[in-house]
Amino acid sequence: MVEKQVLLEVSELRKYYPISRGIFRRVAGYVKAVDGVSFSVNQGEVVGLIGESGCGKTTTGRCILRAITPTSGSILFHNGKAQDVTAMNRDELRDYRRNAQMIFQDPYSSLNPRMSVLEIVGEALYVNGVARGRALEDRVRVLMSQVGLKPEHMRRFPHAFSGGQRQRIGIARALALEPKLIVADEPTSALDVSIQAQIINLLQNLQKTLGLTYLLIAHDLSVIRHFSNRVVVLYVGQACEVSDTEELFRAPRHPYTEALLSAVPKPDPKRRGNRIVLGGEVPDPAAAPLGCKFHPRCPYSQEVCRTELPPMIEVSEDHFASCHFSETLKLRAV
Amino acid sequence: MDQQKANVLLEAKDLKVDFILDEGTVRAVNNVSLTVKRGKTLGMIGESGCGKSVTAQSILRVVPSPPGRIVGGSILLYAMNGDASVDIASLDPKGKAIREIRGREISMIFQEPMTSFSPVHTVGNQIGEALILHRRFSSEKARQESISALARVGIPKPEQRVDEYPYQLSGGMRQRAMIAMALSCSPRLLIADEPTTALDVTIQAQILELLRKLQDEEGMAMLIITHNLGIVAEMAEDVVVMYFGYAVEYGDVNQIFEAPLHPYTRCLWDAIPSIDKKSDRELTTIKGNVPDPFSEFAGCPFFERCPEAMPERCELSPPPLVEVVAGHRVRCFLYEVKANG
Ligand SMILES: Nc1ncnc2c1ncn2[C@@H]1O[C@H](COP(=O)(O)OP(=O)(O)OP(=O)(O)O)[C@@H](O)[C@H]1O
Ligand SMILES: Nc1ncnc2c1ncn2[C@@H]1O[C@H](COP(=O)(O)OP(=O)(O)OP(=O)(O)O)[C@@H](O)[C@H]1O
Ligand SMILES: [Mg+2]
Ligand SMILES: [Mg+2]
């Protein structure tokens, strides 16, 4: 195995949104959308970011791309030298954004309906002064064939393409500036199963041929298992488990991960009914419980879980979990 | 045979629904036949636009019309003893007969609860309305009954929630309230159109468990519509696979998952990544896209994408419906060969 090279290091990342009330817009509290998340992404790797709606996946992704400014924490990007994304000036950010791109969930709303494919895919090349005129068209042609679109369709508008094809347009746009890192936010969840498979294969092939690194946000755990090398599990703005993918599915060490794996309906009628059903709901990130945020729903919770926030500990090599009892609990695999 | 017949609650035969639009005609449901058994769950699966929701709308006669129209076939709803039946497809969609069936014999829940709740009335008033209408309850009795309906679907503090408005409930809670409303008159069939698609997996697990528990208690049948193979495997006894308006395969859930027959079903099964093991191979894809809704096919609509297509044969005439083993039907020429040879 080659030495792992870190590309991205996220430490103690926080993003709080103030909630203001009353006519004087007093700050009445904070939505702690991301509340102290740490993980790293190695060069050429796919890191999956999972967790239920509102747990802070998109917010984490947007902080990493500096689409929004984090409240605190650091995000080191290693590109020759290590630079903190949160402390970059304008010029540095412009450079960084060529290296870090995003693919969105919704292939309908993420493309401007009044722009042709040539304009959509070529925009970044034009704005960054990479190519103009014929050279630009040539580059767009290459990008379109890379993602499996017919280059002769480059003057068409988004409405003339199917959902899967629009997602390919979004991918070509993200690839235009030859980025190192791609944050893919639910890239297949708006697509039908048969089209999802095409897009996953495409993303996987591009990763191999272009040496890309992905942060893959997805709630479909079978997609995560198929596609990612490591997984970060979020619960209400905090990471509760970070692990190699195979190990996570075979031997989860956090009760929330266990419940999440168990809750997924399996496409096998013989396994019916055998699952853990958690009570309650995901807490509001503006009013999360004290202690371990998972304790009100956790089937194993003890007194200490109500009062003390469990630290993230390394339970085995490169496998981290934040549970007071991760060393002793015998949890179920998927 | 009669024994089997007695188990049938609802039977669609060669149902056809068209949407007549300026751009052309969409054959949304094309000769669909299916059976819902008493107290059992039929899972309907297929990709976007294949006619799942329109099939459900036809059963309740709520297909928007115009542009939609049932142009053929029947939907027989059998009475308790199994002999008498009414053909829903031939009823007047605004008539008394269908209104008595809706909500009382058959009710429906949707992906987005806000579509079945009115935002301006309390949850309790909306659940109570059906009770007052169908069961002639007094408003006080309806309110009490609404509270116990909310309690039964696991909503905490039901006596407080009953006076709240739908927007005051969380997504999972709203879905529970909609189920409470749908079940208030103890229907014999509950149609659930993507009931958990908008929910998180842990909440989805709660709702699926709730549906199963209520089914056990009430003995109602369910038609669950989904694009999630896992939900079908978890919930259904029988499965119908739809493609481009056609029911391409129908059978027992074990048959369908262990020995899928239609090439489309097999492709769909292979296209989903496995949650159980890591695989280094690429996912199997289905080439091309779902056809444009206005397309017309002389032969099988899956022909162009089918890995087992037989040129000419599949292209020229519609594939036959073949019962390959008892209760397992498939619409495909591959099996006609086997049946004859
Ligand atoms: N601009 C904002 N202002 C206030 N709150 C916000 C803002 N953006 C996000 N939030 C809140 O932060 C939390 C995390 O949101 P985020 O979009 O990161 O979740 P997510 O994990 O991506 O969820 P989903 O799976 O639904 O996409 C949510 O409670 C959300 O309501
Ligand atoms: N009100 C309508 N007017 C015109 N066409 C319609 C209408 N409702 C449905 N259709 C068409 O009928 C076909 C079947 O639609 P239907 O809603 O049943 O699909 P579905 O299988 O439920 O898809 P999804 O998984 O996306 O919900 C589609 O081609 C759709 O565009
Ligand atoms: Mg998100
Ligand atoms: Mg539908």
- Taking only the tens place, the pLDDT of each residue in A121-170 is 999 999 999 999 999 999 999 999 999 999 999 999 999 898 889 999 99
Q: Output the DSSP codes for A91-112.
A: HHHHHHHHHEEEE-S-TTTTS-
* N- to C-terminal Cα separation, chain A: 28
Contacts of B223 (CB under 8 A, 6+ apart): B36, B41, B42, B44, B56, B59, B189, B190, B191, B192
* B13 beta partners: B74
Please give the pLDDT value at position B341: 43
Alpha-carbon span B231 to A224, nearest angstrom: 19
Three-class SS of residue A44?
A: coil
Structural contact between residues A188 and A222, judged by C-beta atoms closer than 8 angstroms: no
Alpha-carbon span A295 to A276, nearest angstrom: 15
Exposed / middle / buried, residue A25 (Cβ in 10 Å: 0-12, 13-18, 19+): exposed
Strands (E), B227-268: 238-243, 246-252
Residue numbers of A between 144 and 163 with CB closer than 8 Å to B: 162-163
* A30 beta partners: A18
* Amino acid at position A28, single letter: A
Range in A116-120, A267-271, A310-314 the model is least confident about: A267-271
**Distance in Å, CA A55 to ligand 3 centroid:** 8
Nearest CA in chain B to A275: B205
For residue A63, give the nearest of A217, A228, A230 by alpha carbon.
A217
pLDDT at residue A209 greater than cutoff 60: yes
* A40 beta partners: A9
Alpha-carbon span A252 to A334, nearest angstrom: 9
Alpha-carbon span B151 to B161, nearest angstrom: 10
For residue A7, give the nearest of A108, A63, A78 by alpha carbon.
A78
**E strand or H helix that includes residue A41:** strand A26-42
For residue A221, give the nearest of A248, A182, A255 by alpha carbon.
A248
* A103 beta partners: A184
Count CA atoms within 13 Å of residue B290 on its CB side.
23
How many secondary structure helices (H) and strands (E) does chain B include?
Answer: 13, 12
Percent of chain A with pLDDT over 70: 99
Alpha-carbon span B25 to A152, nearest angstrom: 30
Please give the pLDDT value at position A110: 87
For residue A186, give the nearest of A220, A214, A209, A163 by alpha carbon.
A220
Sheet of strand B321-325, all strands in order from the earlier edge strand to the far edge: B106-109, B189-193, B221-226, B41-45, B238-243, B246-252, B328-331, B321-325
For residue B202, give the nearest of A265, A223, A227, A300 by alpha carbon.
A265
Nearest CA in chain A to B291: A162
* B249 beta partners: B241, B330
What Å distances lie between residue B325 and B328, B339, B341, CA to CA? 5, 10, 15
Alpha-carbon span B49 to B63, nearest angstrom: 15
Give the tens place of pLDDT for each residue, A9-60.
Answer: 999 999 999 988 877 778 888 999 999 999 999 999 999 999 998 899 999 9
Tell whether B120 lies on the interface with A, counting CB pairs under 8 A: no
Residue numbers of B between 153 and 212 with CB closer than 8 Å to A: 170, 172-173, 200-206, 208-209
Q: Which residues of A touch B208 (CB under 8 A)?
A: 265
* N- to C-terminal Cα separation, chain B: 27
The residue whose CA is least distant from atom 28 of ligand 2 is B49
Axis-axis angle for helices A163-175, A193-210 (nearest 10):
20
For residue B165, give the nearest of B206, B121, B135, B133 by alpha carbon.
B121
- Ligand located closest to A56 CA: 1
Tell whether B116 lies on the interface with A, counting CB pairs under 8 A: no
Q: Is the pTM of this model over 0.90?
A: yes
Q: Which residues of A touch B291 (CB under 8 A)?
A: none
Structural contact between residues B253 and A221, judged by C-beta atoms closer than 8 angstroms: no
Q: Which residues of B touch A271 (CB under 8 A)?
A: 233
Please give the pLDDT value at position B2: 59
The answer to whether the Cβ–Cβ distance between B279 and A226 falls below 8 Å is: yes
Q: How do the pLDDT tens digits run along chain B, 341 residues long?
A: 456 678 999 999 999 999 999 989 999 999 999 999 999 999 999 999 999 999 999 999 999 999 999 999 999 999 877 678 999 999 999 999 999 999 889 999 987 777 778 899 999 999 998 889 888 999 999 999 999 999 988 888 899 999 999 998 888 888 899 999 999 888 999 999 999 888 889 989 999 999 999 999 999 999 999 999 999 999 999 999 999 999 999 999 999 999 999 999 999 999 999 898 877 788 988 988 888 899 999 999 999 999 999 988 999 999 999 999 999 999 999 998 654 54
* Amino acid at position B228, single letter: N
Interface residue of B207, B278, B281 to substitute, partner A, most A CBs within 10 Å: B278
The two tokens of residue A228 are: 């990612």
- Ligand located closest to A49 CA: 1
Give A88's DSSP letter: -
Contacts of B330 (CB under 8 A, 6+ apart): B248, B249, B250, B261, B262, B321, B322, B324
Exposed / middle / buried, residue A317 (Cβ in 10 Å: 0-12, 13-18, 19+): exposed
**Facing B257 at nearest CB: one of A198, A221, A267:** A267
Does the C-beta of A31 come closer than 6 Å to ligand 1? yes
The two tokens of residue B18 are: 């068209």
pLDDT at residue A1 greater than cutoff 60: no
Q: Output the DSSP codes for B101-141.
A: HBTTTEEEE-SSGGGTS-TTS-HHHHHHHHHHHHH---HHH
Number of neighbouring beta carbons within 10 Å of residue A150 = 12
Residue numbers of B between 208 and 247 with CB closer than 8 Å to A: 208-209, 227-235
Structural contact between residues A65 and A183, judged by C-beta atoms closer than 8 angstroms: yes
Report the relative pairing of strands A230-235 and A238-244 from DSSP bridges. antiparallel
Tell whether B292 lies on the interface with A, counting CB pairs under 8 A: no
Alpha-carbon span A2 to A25, nearest angstrom: 54
What Å distances lie between residue A227 and A146, A221, A327, CA to CA? 20, 10, 28
Contacts of B336 (CB under 8 A, 6+ apart): B319, B320, B322
Q: Which domains does chain A have, with CATH numbers?
A: 6-112+179-235 (3.40.50.300)
Tell whether A274 lies on the interface with B, counting CB pairs under 8 A: no
Tell whether A263 lies on the interface with B, counting CB pairs under 8 A: yes
> How many Å lie between the alpha carbon of A202 and the closest alpha carbon of chain B?
10
Number of neighbouring beta carbons within 10 Å of residue B82 = 15
Which residue, chain included where needed, has tokens 């769950």?
A: B41
For residue B241, give the nearest of B260, B258, B259, B254 by alpha carbon.
B260
* Amino acid at position A275, single letter: R
Alpha-carbon span A103 to A182, nearest angstrom: 7
Three-class SS of residue B206?
A: helix
Alpha-carbon span A229 to A222, nearest angstrom: 13
What Å distances lie between residue A284 and A55, A56, A58, A81, B170, CA to CA? 9, 12, 16, 39, 11
Pocket of ligand 2 (CB under 6 A): B 19, 21, 26, 28, 46, 48-54, 64, 67-68, 227, 293
- Ligand located closest to A185 CA: 3
pLDDT at residue A118 greater than cutoff 90: yes
**Distance in Å, CA B315 to ligand 1 centroid:** 49
